[in-house]
């Protein structure tokens, strides 16, 4: 007689299970057949596609690197022209960072998280699928610009003034700004999915204390995306406004400042490297205990270190700007922080080493990649601390020393762990594991090749070779070092080839008979892995449930734990509380669909057509995208069907609203994104004021106070209409509709009044950095107001159909959150653009 993991020691369900239970479960989660698989939303399918695509971009960007290394092999080479070389390094860096690294780690989350958390799927499967399709279409088009010579060529960080209309005419820079800008939207969509998934769909009993480190890192990664990406999205909006309409945000003669771009870009760009590294650390934290056969040493300390790293990484961005003439004391702040952040990273490295020492490490291919990661990443960290010292950075800035440093961190901290992850997790998802022999060969080649390629670059850099040069003259002592680097690069390529061969020979993705837990790991992703995840949802009472309960895999498979079938006949997920993971709600998940796929295509078309200035078709595609999103959302709020029994005497509601509902959480995260975008804007506004106060108007030139009072009154009226609508919801449909309409109209009117007042006072966006900022604020307010308008229209449509009432109100709850935010941001904007100049004027 075995004892269940549950607190009572009893299984939630008796055996045997009803004969048709499993078939009904299978039917609910069945995949669409044939080419219709495109409409699938299961996290495993999307996860496979996501990872394959990301790896594909890695190979493509790697080929670009080989082209560059070939050009640099010998001095005065003419293999590649200067113009092409510029496009190559820009595309290589951009594709590696935005189309490989970030999507790859998000993809690992999409694939692994539900399994690891004991969930059936992520909470918003279509959102995850949408994020993937946007990324695939957008990424491919972006990459193809290279073949027609329209690729950007201003480096992966796109500094103005080089990237301004004046010095980069043509559409290359626009492709970067719009293309990358909207791929970031996909990253944010993925982040929302991951945050809500980790917080709300963990198996019962998996409290935060029992959550695997990988899930922690994904949570922190997603949180960082929410706060970091808006900064660069704002930057791309501003630069695109400057390029298209001449609003001088970054033009110094007209009260702008190119350094504003650098601040915004690096406020994103530095956290970005940790966004890439943290999940990799999470993967390593899963692999090491299994391979060493013992629990992770210092689990809690690692969680602390991860959170601290995530936060501190936001306080380092100025270390990319040490040579821009910022006051010395400010440099000191960021130098100190840059050195401090190495402490939590060091803690993690020591914890892994301690775990390896505490257990007995099996030297598998995965372990080798982990060891490679530890050495290479640590070396990169050391040169990082060197570069954090301001005087050293003044010497090494923009030389090959920096190229060496960041490749040690990126390849060491991300590529090695990812390859380790492939070798480690393949048996959980493939009929056969990958070949240990080929894996070890690949490791030997890539470890040697990488160091042969990049170690000499420290030296080439220190003896003066700048980065981003397409060739160099003979006789400077750089020749043989470069040749060695090129040889190493080809060794890396050979390693990747070996890995690809291994994939072709052994990787057989499956949803029925995976090779299984060949490493004897202790976490839940090693249970069976079907379209529906595992047959039943276990109760989790330790960090390594499969080690603590040897029979768990079998018990889960037989359906002895929670929710062994489907209650409603459709796809379902148990939603649990955020900290203690107590079951709260049985959420019904959507199945396959086309609307989200089409929405992704039209969204991509909208942005890409804007780039080539095909405005009319772009707008049409934009409208179609919105229509598709409405169609996709239409069925996402099914009505209650009473309580559902998940076993063990637990009956969960099938409808909830308010903070218990995952959609509420998603909305809060989305609002955090909007808030971060707006805060970046406030920073930009104040920043331009500190550099160019002379362009700020005197109090007398500002719009009269009566205008501002009117705008503020309209905003307040909008808020009042909202709260009245809320009170009347479910009682009078016409009155509700009228109140919502009035509220939305006054929100729009407030914006119009504000813009008119500025315009009539003579302020023009092209005139000065200040003018540009004021109107940019209006653009942001227009964005959130438009979001409120669309959501309100959606709510009214559902109201008309009788799908919205006092009980069934999640759609309204979401609208309300966005609306409150819009009113708040509007009021703050008035204070900033009218109040601040008066206060300082």
Residues that bind ligand HEM (CB under 6 A): 62, 65, 68-69, 89-90, 92-93, 96-97, 101, 155-156, 403, 407, 410-411, 414-415, 453, 467-468, 489, 492
For tokens 């315009």, the residue is 759
Q: Could you tell me the two tokens for 794?
A: 């959606």
Considering CB distances under 5 to 8 angstroms, the limit depending on partner class, which of another protein, ligand HEM, Cu ion, none binds residue 270? Answer: Cu ion
What is the nearest approach in angstroms of another protein to the Cβ of residue 790? 33
Q: Which of residues 182-221 bind another protein (CB under 8 A)?
A: 207-210
With the C-alpha atoms ordered 760, 766, 772, 777, is the resulting torsion angle positive or negative?
A: positive
Q: Are the beta carbons of 213 and 306 closer than 8 angstroms?
A: yes
What is the nearest approach in angstroms of another protein to the Cβ of residue 204? 12
Q: What is the 3-state secondary structure (H, E, C) of 249-293?
A: CCCHHHCCCHHHHHHHHHHHHHHHHHHHHHHHHHHHHHHHHHHHC
Q: Are the beta carbons of 28 and 566 closer than 8 angstroms?
A: yes
For tokens 């899963």, the residue is 286
Query: From the list 141, 620, 650, 691, which residue makes contact with another protein (rule: CB under 8 A)?
Result: 691
Q: Where are the beta strands (DSSP E) in 636-772?
A: 643-647, 650-653
Q: What is the CA radius of gyration of the chain?
A: 27
Q: Quick one: 397 or 458, whose CB is closer to another protein?
A: 397
Site string for another protein, 300-339 (x = CB under 8 A): xx-xx--xx--xx-xx---------xxxxxxxxx-xxx-x
Q: Could you tell me the two tokens for 660?
A: 């218990």
Q: Are the beta carbons of 409 and 277 closer than 8 angstroms?
A: yes
Considering CB distances under 5 to 8 angstroms, the limit depending on partner class, which of Cu ion, ligand HEM, another protein, none binds residue 828? Answer: none
Q: Could you tell me the two tokens for 239?
A: 């630069």
- Spatial distance between the Cα atoms of 830 and 710, rounded to a whole number of angstroms: 11
Nearest residue to 285 (alpha-carbon basis) of 384, 343, 218, 206:
218
Q: Residue 681: which residues within 8 A CB-CB, separation 6 or more?
A: 234, 773, 776, 777, 780
Considering CB distances under 5 to 8 angstroms, the limit depending on partner class, which of ligand HEM, another protein, Cu ion, none binds residue 453? Answer: ligand HEM
Q: Are the beta carbons of 736 and 799 closer than 8 angstroms?
A: yes
Does position 150 interact with another protein (CB under 8 A)? The reply is no
Q: Which of residues 257-276 bind Cu ion (CB under 5 A)?
A: 270
Contacts with Cu ion: how many residues (CB under 5 A)?
A: 1
Q: Are the beta carbons of 671 and 822 closer than 8 angstroms?
A: no
Query: From the list 38, 67, 386, 390, which residue makes contact with another protein (rule: CB under 8 A)?
Result: 390
What is the nearest approach in angstroms of another protein to the Cβ of residue 341? 9
Q: Residue 363: which residues within 8 A CB-CB, separation 6 or more?
A: none
Q: Are the beta carbons of 100 and 54 closer than 8 angstroms?
A: yes
Q: Quick one: 159 or 314, whose CB is closer to ligand HEM?
A: 159
What is the nearest approach in angstroms of another protein to the Cβ of residue 207? 3
Considering CB distances under 5 to 8 angstroms, the limit depending on partner class, which of ligand HEM, Cu ion, another protein, none binds residue 332? Answer: another protein
DSSP letter at 577 equals: -
DSSP letter at 644 equals: E
- For residue 339, the tally of other CB atoms under 10 A from its CB is 15
What is the nearest approach in angstroms of Cu ion to the Cβ of residue 832? 29
Query: From the list 37, 244, 579, 639, which residue makes contact with another protein (rule: CB under 8 A)?
Result: 579
What is the nearest approach in angstroms of ligand HEM to the Cβ of residue 459? 15
Q: Minimal CB distance to Cu ion: which residue?
A: 270
Q: In angstroms, how far apart are the furthest CA atoms of the chain?
A: 86
DSSP 410-478: HIIIIIHHHHHHHHHHHHHHBSSPPPHHHHHHHHHHHHHHHHHHHHHHHHHHHTTPBSS-S---TTSS-
Q: Minimal CB distance to ligand HEM: which residue?
A: 93
Query: From the list 282, 344, 545, 765, which residue makes contact with another protein (rule: CB under 8 A)?
Result: 344
What is the nearest approach in angstroms of ligand HEM to the Cβ of residue 438? 19
Site string for another protein, 37-76 (x = CB under 8 A): ----------------------------------------
What is the nearest approach in angstroms of Cu ion to the Cβ of residue 168? 25
Considering CB distances under 5 to 8 angstroms, the limit depending on partner class, which of another protein, Cu ion, ligand HEM, none binds residue 191? Answer: none
Q: Name beta bridge partners: 575.
A: 585
Considering CB distances under 5 to 8 angstroms, the limit depending on partner class, which of another protein, ligand HEM, Cu ion, none binds residue 581? Answer: another protein
Note the residues at the interface with another protein (CB under 8 A): 207-210, 300-301, 303-304, 307-308, 311-312, 314-315, 325-333, 335-337, 339-340, 343-344, 390, 579-581, 687, 690-691, 693
Note the residues at the interface with Cu ion (CB under 5 A): 270
């Amino acid at each position: 007689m075995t004892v269940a993991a549950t607190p009572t020691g009893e299984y939630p369900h008796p055996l045997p299970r009803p004969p048709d239970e499993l078939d009904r479960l299978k039917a609910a989660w069945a995949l669409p057949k044939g080419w219709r698989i495109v409409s699938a939303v299961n996290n495993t399918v999307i996860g496979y596609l996501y990872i394959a695509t990301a790896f594909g971009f890695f190979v493509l960007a790697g080929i670009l690197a080989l082209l560059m290394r070939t050009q640099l092999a010998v001095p005065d080479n003419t293999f590649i022209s200067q113009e092409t070389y510029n496009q190559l390094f820009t595309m290589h860096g951009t594709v590696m960072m935005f189309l490989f690294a970030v999507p790859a780690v998000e993809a690992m989350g999409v694939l692994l998280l539900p399994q690891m958390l004991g969930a059936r799927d992520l909470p918003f499967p279509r959102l995850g699928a949408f994020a993937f399709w946007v990324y695939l279409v957008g990424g491919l088009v972006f990459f193809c610009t290279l073949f027609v010579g329209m690729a950007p060529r201003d480096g992966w960080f796109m500094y103005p003034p080089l990237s301004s209309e004046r010095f980069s005419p043509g559409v290359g820079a626009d492709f970067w700004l719009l293309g990358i800008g909207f791929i970031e939207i996909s990253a944010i969509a993925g982040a929302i999915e991951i945050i809500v998934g980790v917080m709300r769909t963990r198996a019962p009993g998996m409290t935060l204390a029992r959550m695997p480190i990988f899930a922690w890192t994904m949570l922190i990664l997603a949180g960082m995306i929410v706060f970091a990406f808006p900064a660069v999205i704002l930057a791309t909006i501003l630069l695109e406004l400057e390029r298209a309409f001449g609003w001088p945000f970054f033009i110094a003669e007209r009260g702008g400042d190119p350094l504003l771009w650098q601040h915004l870009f690096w406020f994103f760009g530095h956290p970005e490297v940790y966004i890439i590294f943290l999940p990799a650390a999470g993967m390593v934290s899963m692999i090491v205990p299994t391979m060493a056969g013992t629990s992770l040493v210092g689990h809690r300390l690692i969680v602390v270190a991860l959170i601290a790293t995530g936060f501190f990484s936001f306080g380092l961005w100025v270390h990319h700007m040490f040579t821009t003439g910022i006051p010395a004391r400010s440099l000191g702040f960021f130098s100190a922080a840059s050195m401090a952040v190495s402490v939590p990273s060091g803690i993690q490295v020591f914890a892994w080493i301690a775990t390896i020492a505490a257990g007995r490490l099996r030297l598998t291919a995965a372990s080798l990649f982990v060891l490679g990661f530890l050495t290479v990443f640590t070396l990169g960290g050391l040169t990082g601390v060197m570069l954090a010292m301001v005087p050293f950075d003044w010497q090494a800035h923009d030389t090959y020393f920096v190229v060496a440093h960041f490749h040690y961190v990126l390849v060491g901290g991300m590529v090695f762990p990812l390859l380790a992850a492939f070798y480690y997790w393949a048996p959980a998802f493939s009929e056969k594991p990958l070949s240990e022999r080929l894996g070890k060969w690949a490791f030997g080649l890539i470890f040697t090749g990488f160091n042969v390629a990049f170690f000499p670059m420290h030296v080439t850099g220190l003896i003066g070779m700048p980065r981003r040069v397409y060739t160099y003259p003979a006789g400077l002592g750089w020749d043989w070092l470069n040749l060695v680097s090129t040889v190493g690069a080809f060794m890396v390529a050979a390693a990747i080839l070996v890995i690809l061969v291994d994939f072709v020979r052994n990787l057989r993705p499956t949803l029925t008979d995976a090779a299984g837990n060949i490493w004897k790991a202790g976490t839940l992703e090693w249970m069976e892995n079907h379209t529906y995840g595992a047959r039943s949802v276990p109760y989790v009472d330790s960090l390594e449930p499969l080690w603590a309960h040897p029979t768990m895999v079998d018990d889960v498979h037989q359906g002895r734990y929670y929710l062994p079938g489907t209650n409603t006949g459709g796809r379902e997920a148990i939603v649990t509380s955020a900290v203690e993971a107590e079951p709260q709600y049985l959420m019904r998940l959507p199945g396959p669909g086309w609307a989200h796929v089409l929405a992704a295509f039209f969204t991509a078309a909208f942005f890409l057509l804007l780039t080539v200035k095909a405005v009319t078709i772009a707008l049409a595609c934009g409208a179609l995208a919105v229509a598709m999103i409405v169609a996709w959302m239409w069925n996402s709020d099914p009505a209650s069907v009473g309580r559902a029994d998940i076993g063990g005497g637990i009956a969960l509601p099938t409808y909830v609203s308010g903070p218990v509902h995952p959609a509420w959480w998603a909305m809060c995260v989305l609002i955090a994104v909007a808030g971060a975008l707006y805060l970046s804007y406030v920073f930009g506004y104040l920043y331009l004021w500190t550099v160019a106060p002379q362009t700020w108007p005197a109090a007398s030139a500002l719009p009269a106070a009566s205008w501002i009072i009117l705008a503020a009154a309209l905003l307040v009226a909008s808020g009042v209409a909202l709260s009245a609508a809320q009170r009347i919801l479910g009682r009078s449909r016409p009155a509700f509709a009228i109140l919502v309409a009035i509220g939305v109209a006054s929100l729009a009117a407030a914006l119009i009044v504000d813009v008119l007042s500025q315009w009539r006072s003579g302020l023009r966006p092209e005139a000065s950095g200040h003018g540009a900022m004021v109107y940019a604020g209006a653009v942001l307010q227009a964005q959130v107001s438009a979001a409120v308008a669309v959501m309100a229209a959606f709510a009214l449509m559902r109201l008309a159909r009788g799908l919205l009432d006092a009980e069934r109100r999640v759609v309204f709850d979401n609208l309300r959150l966005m609306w409150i935010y819009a009113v708040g941001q509007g009021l703050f904007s008035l204070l900033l653009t009218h109040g601040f100049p008066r206060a300082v004027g």
